[in-house]
Amino acid sequence: MAYKSVFDASAIKSDFELAGLNPNFIPLIWKHILQNPNCGWDEIPSLPSAAYPLLRSKYKPSTSTLHSAIDSSDQVTTKLLIKLQNGEFVEAVVMRYDTRLGKYDGKPRPGGLRSTLCVSSQVGCKMGCNFCATGSMGFKNNLSTGEILEQLVHASRISTIRNVVFMGMGEPLNNYSSVVEAIRAMTAPPFQLSPKKITVSTVGIIHAISKLHKDLPNLNLAVSLHAPVQDIRCQIMPAARAFPLERLMNTLREYQTSSQQKIFIEYIMLDGINDEEQHAHQLGKLLETFQVVINLIPFNPIGSLSSYNTSNDQKVIKFQRILRGTYNIRTTVRKQMGQDISGACGQLVVNKNFTIKGGGKIMAEIRGLILPKD
């Protein structure tokens, strides 16, 4: 029998209620596991006696294992390869940064050391974006709430996580109920992340965006737009055919009106495809009446999996200047992180030839796992 993850929030809550146990004990169980990675059920103190046989018979403290953790050479990024109970692998990435670096308004920036965790929501992805390593794998399965939360548990043992972004493998809004449940758990004890520190990134699943603000107010929404016109979107993101740009923009308008929050726009810079001056003007006109922050993302090559090239620095800077100067839109250029450890989502899993802790290569294993998609 496959055991459930104790972090499968609704399953354990309903089992506790059925057994007449108080669900308020659940965060205490989670806290103990966070602090004691290899503990057995009997080692968790002060639970009602009926909780122990229930936990033993149906649950595991973790259904996934940290298969390997690979640091980038600059130690800023750590990529976690996590093995699930069904033998599949997903990636999670810890990114460390110091918000005090640089100046703001001529003064030292406030803040300090922070870690952001990028989590996966699916094994593979249906959306098939053709610049994306996960996209090259095809869809395997949705992650359960517990499997999503366990990524945070594994990462929390490496670094103090202050922000979570759903920008790993998979389209989070295609696994809506598990993602929503995982985020609710992340904002409750013992994790207690602020919803403002959690970002869900989507290619633009229109019906799910319409629901999101009601289910999770105060969350950050990032939209992977990647092109200012529908035909280029469809060329690089085949799934965009189902989500016409005009309808998507109407949905984002409604989302912004009800949430009153800015929306983050992700825009991957692909040489000769979407990085010309005309594209910057089209993007500026499309977004000038929204409250948005645009992140320009230099493309992270995925080797033979993609024929795209990275836009050169001059093109990226010119693109940014047009958006800022002509359209007054806050536009940042994302720093490339962890390229030496296959920094883009899905690359580590798709990469068939890397060494793991404990020796050997998992080339054949990985090839069997995931090869058909970011």
Determine, following the binding rule CB under 6 A, whether residue 134 of this chain makes contact with ligand SF4. Answer: yes
Determine, following the binding rule CB under 6 A, whether residue 171 of this chain makes contact with ligand SF4. Answer: yes
Contact pick of 79, 197, 279, 373 for ligand SF4 (by CB under 6 A): 373
Residue 55 or 269 with smaller CB distance to ligand SF4: 269
Task: Calculate helix-pair angle for 9-18, 51-58, nearest 10 degrees.
Answer: 140
Amino acid identity for residue 69 in this structure: A
Tokens of 346: 């899905």
Contact pick of 26, 66, 132, 208 for ligand SF4 (by CB under 6 A): 132
Q: Measured from the CB of residue 121, what is the shortest distance to ligand SF4 in angstroms? A: 9
User: Are the C-beta atoms of 356 and 126 separated by less than 8 Å?
Assistant: no
**Which one of 4-12, 126-134, 244-252, 328-336 is the stretch in contact with ligand SF4 (CB under 6 A)?**
126-134
Q: Is 197 left (phi over 0), alpha (psi -120 to 50) or beta?
A: alpha
Determine, following the binding rule CB under 6 A, whether residue 125 of this chain makes contact with ligand SF4. Answer: yes
User: Are the C-beta atoms of 268 and 299 separated by less than 8 Å?
Assistant: yes
Residues 87 and 222: their CA atoms lie apart, in Å, by 30
Instruction: State whether residue 330 is helix, strand or coil.
Output: strand
Determine, following the binding rule CB under 6 A, whether residue 204 of this chain makes contact with ligand SF4. Answer: no
Determine, following the binding rule CB under 6 A, whether residue 274 of this chain makes contact with ligand SF4. Answer: no
Determine, following the binding rule CB under 6 A, whether residue 338 of this chain makes contact with ligand SF4. Answer: no
**Which one of 19-27, 94-102, 144-152, 166-174 is the stretch in contact with ligand SF4 (CB under 6 A)?**
166-174
Determine, following the binding rule CB under 6 A, whether residue 225 of this chain makes contact with ligand SF4. Answer: no
Contact pick of 51, 84, 129, 297 for ligand SF4 (by CB under 6 A): 129
From the CA atom positions of the chain, what is the Rg in Å? 21
How far from each other are the two terminal CA atoms of the chain, in whole angstroms?
31
- The number of CA neighbours under 13 Å toward the Cβ of 370 is 32
Residues 341 and 292: their CA atoms lie apart, in Å, by 31
Determine, following the binding rule CB under 6 A, whether residue 203 of this chain makes contact with ligand SF4. Answer: yes
Determine, following the binding rule CB under 6 A, whether residue 306 of this chain makes contact with ligand SF4. Answer: no
Sequence-distant (6+) residues with CB within 8 A of 278 are none
User: Are the C-beta atoms of 345 and 91 separated by less than 8 Å?
Assistant: yes
Sequence-distant (6+) residues with CB within 8 A of 313 are none
Q: Measured from the CB of residue 203, what is the shortest distance to ligand SF4 in angstroms? A: 5
Q: Measured from the CB of residue 189, what is the shortest distance to ligand SF4 in angstroms? A: 30
Determine, following the binding rule CB under 6 A, whether residue 266 of this chain makes contact with ligand SF4. Answer: no
Determine, following the binding rule CB under 6 A, whether residue 135 of this chain makes contact with ligand SF4. Answer: yes
Of 161, 150, 149, which is closest to residue 96 (Cα–Cα)?
161
**Which one of 167-175, 182-190, 328-336, 359-367 is the stretch in contact with ligand SF4 (CB under 6 A)?**
167-175
**Which one of 58-66, 125-133, 155-163, 351-359 is the stretch in contact with ligand SF4 (CB under 6 A)?**
125-133
Determine, following the binding rule CB under 6 A, whether residue 170 of this chain makes contact with ligand SF4. Answer: yes
Sequence-distant (6+) residues with CB within 8 A of 49 are none
User: Are the C-beta atoms of 342 and 77 separated by less than 8 Å?
Assistant: no
Residues 224 and 167: their CA atoms lie apart, in Å, by 10
Which residues does the annotation mark as catalytic? 91, 345
Q: Measured from the CB of residue 96, what is the shortest distance to ligand SF4 in angstroms? A: 23
Determine, following the binding rule CB under 6 A, whether residue 269 of this chain makes contact with ligand SF4. Answer: no
- Return residues touching ligand SF4 (CB under 6 A): 125, 127-129, 132, 134-135, 169-171, 203, 373-374
